[in-house]
Amino acid sequence: MTTIVAVRKGNQIAIAADSQTTFGDDQKLLAGYDCFHDKIFRHGDSYLAISGSAAHDLVLQGALKELKKKDFSSRKGIFDTFRKLHPKLKDGFYLRPEEDEEDPYESSQMMVVIANAHGIFGVYPMREIYQFSRFWAIGSGRKFAMGAMHVAYEQNLSAREIAEIGVQAGCEFDVNSSLPMTVYTVEVADDTARKETA
C-alpha cells in the first residue's frame, strides 16, 4: 500500500507520496532497489497519485494518453473524464470491475488524488469525486498522515511542509510506507483564489 497526501494552504498546493512497493504480506521493494519509485505522475498541468495495485500506475497513464478530451479542472470535469476512462480500462487494459455484487456501479478498483491549480480532488473506485479544501490522504498510512496534518495545519507552515509531515507520519507508523518521499507543488489559479475570498 502507500501514504499519499495533498495539502492546500494559502496559494500553494502540494502533493506528496512515499516510495515503498509492497508485494503480498511479506515482501517490500524500497526506493533504492526500484528505478521507478516515484508514485506521482504528471499529466498536463495536473499531478496524479494512485492507491491500489501497482499495475494501476502504467494503466492509468496509458488510458489517459488514449483519451482525447479530458478535464481535471472541476468535480464534474473529472467525473466525466473518469466515466469515459472506465470502458477503456475494461476493454483495453482488462480491468476486472467486480467488487461486491451489491455495489450500485462497476468499480474502477483505484483511488486517485489529483492536485492542480484548480484544487485537490479525490477519485474513488465507483467514480465518486470529492474536492478537498484543506488536505486529504489515501493509502494504508492515511490515518497517521491525516492526524499529523490536522495538528500541523494551523501552524505557520507551508502546504509543502504540511504534506511532508503527513508522509513522514505515514512512513513512521505504517508498515507499507517508507521514505524517501517525493513532493510536487503548484500555485493556486488566480480565479480559484478569488472565488474563495469573495
Residue 182 parent element (H or E): strand 182-187
Q: Please spell the DSSP secondary structure of 11-29, one letter per residue.
A: TEEEEEE---EEETTTEEE
Do residues 144 and 3 lie in contact, with contact meaning Cβ atoms separated by under 8 Å?
A: yes
- Rounded CA separation 187/129 (Å): 22
The CATH superfamily holding the domain 3-189 is Aminohydrolase, N-terminal nucleophile (Ntn) domain (3.60.20.10)
What one-letter code names the amino acid at 26? D
Write the pLDDT tens digit of every residue in 2-41. 999 999 999 999 999 999 999 888 899 999 999 999 999 9
Cell numbers describing residue 84: 469515459
Name the residue ranges covered by the structural domains of the chain. Answer: 3-189
The Cα-based distances of 11 to 43, 48, 105, 147 in angstroms read 21, 19, 36, 23
pTM of the shown model = 0.93
Cβ neighbours of residue 94 under 8 Å, at least 6 residues apart? none
- Cα dist from 12 to 33, 41, 112, whole Å: 32, 18, 20
Residue pLDDT, tens place only, 86-113: 999 999 999 988 888 888 899 999 999 9
